[in-house]
Amino acid sequence: MKIIILYFTLVITIFGAKLTDGYYSVIENTVRGKKWKTKVELKIKNNEIIWIDVDMITKDGKLRSQDEKEMEIILKDTYGIDPYIKLPQKYLEKIEETDDYKVFKVDTIAGATVISNKFNKMVMFLMKKSEEGKPGKFKGWFH
């Protein structure tokens, strides 16, 4: 159940900054609960975010969104809302509302506060990399 928003094109009004085309990915340095690391990926083309994804990953590459037992726990904690779908949607909706990709945060999903906060920080980190013209894969500390 990997959650990807593909080719969801969004016209973004940029206030003096230009986003650099490319693929951007960041994975946190530390493992949460001794098992999972948060990862955020996005793709930018023609100064627009065309794809965004959030998930958690084990050190051997297993995605939390594809683990049935883990998803049962998440959906129970979040009252049936899948944060791996909802967070990217909320971010893109916020951009559309404000015409500004520099949205500092999207609203927290009840039961998914930690992933919501990390998602916000990690997206802003990737947007700064795009403004600097530095696409690629990164690691970071996002607590």
| Backbone dihedral angles phi then psi of residue 9, each to the nearest 5 degrees | -85, 140
- Residue 9 falls inside a structural domain: no
Rounded to whole angstroms, how far apart are CA atoms 27 and 122? 8
Domain harbouring 41, CATH code:
3.90.1010.20
Rounded to whole angstroms, how far apart are CA atoms 9 and 107? 22
- How open is the CA angle 103-108-114, to the nearest 5 degrees? 105
Rounded to whole angstroms, how far apart are CA atoms 31 and 39? 11
| Backbone dihedral angles phi then psi of residue 36, each to the nearest 5 degrees | -110, 145
Q: 115: alpha, beta or left, given left = phi > 0 and alpha = psi -120 to 50? A: alpha
Give the count of domains, the chain.
Answer: 1
Mean pLDDT computed over 99-125: 81
- Residue 68 falls inside a structural domain: yes
CA distances from 137 to 12, 27, 75, 80 (A): 23, 8, 29, 31
Task: Encode pLDDT of 87-102 as tens digits.
Answer: 898 888 888 887 777 6
Task: Encode pLDDT of 117-132 as tens digits.
Answer: 889 899 999 999 999 9
User: Which residues are CB-neighbours of 63 under 8 A, at least 6 positions away?
Assistant: 2, 55, 56, 57
Question: Which structural domain range is residue 45 located in?
Answer: 22-140
- Residue 12 falls inside a structural domain: no
Rounded to whole angstroms, how far apart are CA atoms 42 and 44? 7
Task: Encode pLDDT of 29-56 as tens digits.
Answer: 877 666 889 999 999 999 888 899 999 9
- Residue 128 falls inside a structural domain: yes
